[in-house]
Amino acid sequence: MAQQVASTPSPSFSGPAGGNPPVPRRGHHRDIYGALDLGTNNCRLLIARPSEGGFTVLDAFSRIVRLGHGLSTRGKLSQESMDRSVEALAICADKLRRRHVTLARSVATEACRRAVNGREFVARVKRETGIALEIISPQEEARLAVLGCHKLLEPGDGPALIFDIGGGSTELVLVEQGETAPRIRAWWSAPWGVVSLTESEGREAIEGKDRVLAYGRMRERVFRSFAHFVEMLPDDRENVRLLGTSGTVTTLASVHLALPAYDRRLIDGLHVPVGDMRRISTMIAEMDFTERSGLPCIGTERADMVVAGCAILEAILDIWPAETLGIADRGIREGILRSLMARDGYQL
């Protein structure tokens, strides 16, 4: 649900709980929009103003909060992970307030969907930060991701697969060319993301002497979870296109380019041969934690989760024989911004 935001010092960023979305209005050049995505692993915010053919980012925030840490074993969000997330969300609330955002949408995904205390956490966030988190369905998550990144698809008339590797789940969307935007033909949400898959296999196995075998088990586990979606894919898979949005693909693309530090300008819109992505994934899976941490664009923050991301990516490559992988450093937040602005009459 989109939330009207008062341009006053008030800390509240929502309308009445359960209320209807604001009535669409004609866009105004002073309108400022916010999009917040609280995932299983990350908290991300974008604040933007509409501009010719798109939008201009005014402010951004991203922090690894690991909201879903331990969720696969406990079934609920831990006190520590909730505290970390609320701290990050308080920063987001301050940015929304200082930027005088007029309309915002804040969404939560797999961790809050699965946790038995997910709704209690959402209530705490509203109480302590003023942000009204909306727990969205996997289908809505997939739709927003496609809306946010589809412009980076390679030109062509063949079917395309767009995927988003998250912390607690992976969304797969089969699209075909439409008049102005791709049409969704089928979608699937697999219960494996970088956090849930890492916890399922166990860090000891991933870091142990038989870590290559552990990597193979993770790939197989993810591949099996795609079985029903594979039945929905077209038999003719020539001239197919593939586009990924997630920290996994942007990180591996950075390793591919041997960047000394992450640079979004070089990554967003990049197309990498699939064979190169497989080689990088295998290389990372064979490394131990210290070796992975030594790679500049992985570091200690991502070193424990990146192996699971590689396993998920390779399982996707196994079911969709594209020659190149498009890399998108954009997704749900951009999808939210585009949908809010389009509803207000902006031509994007």
In a domain, 153, yes or no: yes
- Do 172 and 194 share a domain, yes or no? yes
**Domain assignment of residue 335, yes or no:** no
For 118-143, b where at least 16 C-beta lie within 10 A, e where not — what string? beebbebbbeebbbbbbbbebeebbb
In a domain, 346, yes or no: no
Range 298-336 burial, b when 16+ CB lie within 10 A, else e:
beeebbbbbbbbbbbbbbbbebbebebbbbbbbbbbbbb
Supply the CATH number for residue 249's domain: 3.30.420.150
Question: Is-contact 48 55, C-beta < 8 A?
Answer: yes
pLDDT tens column, 73-89: 899 999 999 999 999 99
Instruction: Give residue-wise pLDDT tens across range 106-136.
Output: 999 999 999 999 999 999 999 999 999 999 9
**What percent of the chain lies above the pLDDT cut of 70?**
92
Q: Are residues 163 and 208 in the same domain?
A: yes
The answer to whether residues 320 and 175 belong to one domain is yes
Q: Where does residue 68 rank: exposed (0-12), middle (13-18), buried (19+ CB within 10 A)?
A: buried
Same domain, 148 and 131: no
Domain count, the chain: 2
CA distance 337 to 47: 8
Q: Does residue 295 lie within any of the structural domains?
A: yes
Residue 57 is part of which domain span? 3-136
Domain stop point among 119, 136, 153: 136
**Helices H / strands E in the chain, number of each:** 16, 12
State pLDDT tens for residues 221-239: 999 999 999 999 998 888 8
My answer on whether 227 and 87 are in the same domain is no
Question: Helical H runs in 99-188?
Answer: 110-114, 118-129, 138-149
Give strand pairing partners of 175: 160, 184
95 in the same domain as 164: no
> Residue 338 falls within a domain, yes or no?
no
Question: Can you tell me the distance from the alpha carbon of 310 to that of 308, in angstroms, rounded to the nearest whole number?
Answer: 5
Q: Say if 347 falls within a structural domain.
A: no
Query: Does residue 118 share a domain with residue 161?
Result: no
Q: What is the reported pTM?
A: 0.87
Cα–Cα nearest to 102, from 334, 330, 344: 344
CATH (domain of 114): 3.30.420.40
